[in-house]
Amino acid sequence: MSVETERNWAMGAHLSAFLAAYVALGLLGPLAVLLLQGNRSAFVRRHAVEALNFNISWLIWIAISVILAFVLIGIFLLIAIGIAYVVLVIMGGRAASRGEEFRYPLTIRLVT
């Protein structure tokens, strides 16, 4: 696999999360990239696993915020999580397109 192809797939692992994020299934894009190209490139696998862990973790943080919305603090957390999600996914996609490694903050590393 060429370097450019690797970078495109790695960037796709991050940015594909936007496709299904509106229905709380942003993890499907990175999972698809991991299953389709993860065995062909270690670089793509690292980015897909990182994006998958990020989306699983943030789904957990959103669920906690929804529960906390009943005591009003969760509303502010949901707004902050939404803004941070967009910014961090774009940062991950840009890092992948430059061929750099990227680690998301506040991410529980469930998939290795």
pLDDT digits (tens, 9 = 90+) for 34-71: 999 989 999 999 999 999 999 999 999 999 999 999 88
Tally of domains within the chain: 1
d(CA 12, CA 3): 14
**pLDDT band at residue 112, thresholds of 50, 70 and 90?**
confident
Q: What is the pTM of this model?
A: 0.87
| Number of H-type helices and E-type strands within the chain | 5, 0
Q: Is residue 24 part of a domain?
A: yes
Give 22: exposed, middle or buried? Use CB within 10 Å, 0-12, 13-18, 19+.
Answer: exposed
**Containing domain of residue 50, as a range?**
3-97
Q: Is residue 106 part of a domain?
A: no
Q: Is residue 63 part of a domain?
A: yes
Q: Is residue 111 part of a domain?
A: no
Q: What is the DSSP letter of 1?
A: -
Task: Please report, for residues 5, 69, 97, the alpha-carbon distance to residue 104 in angstroms, rounded to integers and kept in the order given.
Answer: 23, 25, 16
Q: Is residue 102 part of a domain?
A: no
Q: Is residue 27 part of a domain?
A: yes
Q: Is residue 74 part of a domain?
A: yes
Q: Is residue 65 part of a domain?
A: yes
